[in-house]
Amino acid sequence: MSLNDIQNRIAATCQRVGRDADSVRLVAVSKVQPNDRVEAVLQQGHRLFGENKVQEAAGKWPDFRARFPGVTLHLIGPLQTNKARQAMQLFDVIETVDRPKLARTIARIAQEEGHCPDLMIQVNTGEEPQKAGVLPADADAFIAECRDLGLPIIGLMCIPPADEEPSLHFALLAKIAARNDLPDLSMGMSADFETAIGQGATYVRVGSAIFGDRDYG
């Protein structure tokens, strides 16, 4: 696979389901990838990337951004409150707002800094105890709470359980977003992004299919 292959598959899927290809954006997930692979994708003109960890992004992206203007960076991994300020300085979008304490911390820092990245709320659609995200039953109230804090919530994000049919989870996320008037849905990864596009994804997060397998060694 390659960046070009994935872009072609996104375009073909959009055509098949009657969507404009520009309505779906590809987040190239560069976590744990060596810099030369990331640079190769930057050289091809791609500018939208996702990282899981604040520390890793801090070590990698300031240099790339200086050399490749126009980069947009999404945080797609869990965020600890003590890393919130650094994350807000590094990332253009934080996709993983998932609890009141974090929302309040971001609101306070945004007031101090006079700046807040766009935010998405992570919903734990599978209600998995080991996974981050607000439970579906609590999502409406949490969205309202974030809005009351003045936070710029643009959409929702989910990671379906690995062993369940993803389309049910994507449909649930889309339903919550629609009733809360949220335009963006970050859902779908390497194995299921075409299904996600059919359910209304506006961001799909693809890593290894673009960069190659990750080496966690």
Q: What is the dihedral of CA 33, 38, 40, 45, to 10 degrees?
A: 150
Beta bridge partner(s), residue 75: 51, 94
Instruction: Give pLDDT tens digits for 32-53.
Output: 999 999 999 999 999 999 999 9
| Dist. CA 170–CA 63, nearest whole Å | 35
Is 63 within the bounds of a domain? yes
> Which residue ranges of the chain lie beneath pLDDT 70?
1, 216-217
The whole-number pLDDT of residue 217 equals 64
The whole-number pLDDT of residue 59 equals 96
Question: How far from the centroid of its chain's Cα atoms is residue 80's Cα?
Answer: 16
The position carrying tokens 């598959």 is: 9
Is 214 within the bounds of a domain? no
Is 140 within the bounds of a domain? yes
Q: What share of the chain is helix, strand, coil (3-state, %, to 5)?
A: 45, 15, 35
Sequence letter at residue 34: P
SS3 50: strand
Look up the pTM and report it: 0.97
The whole-number pLDDT of residue 1 equals 65
Is 80 within the bounds of a domain? yes
CATH number at residue 66: 3.20.20.10
Structural domain containing residue 68: 3-208
Is 158 within the bounds of a domain? yes
Instruction: Give pLDDT tens digits for 87-109.
Output: 999 999 999 999 999 999 999 99
Question: How far from the centroid of its chain's Cα atoms is residue 20's Cα?
Answer: 20
Is 217 within the bounds of a domain? no
203: nearest Cα among 43, 104, 75, 103: 75
| Dist. CA 92–CA 95, nearest whole Å | 10
Is 95 within the bounds of a domain? yes
Is 48 within the bounds of a domain? yes
| Dist. CA 143–CA 126, nearest whole Å | 18
User: In total, how many domains does the chain have?
Assistant: 1
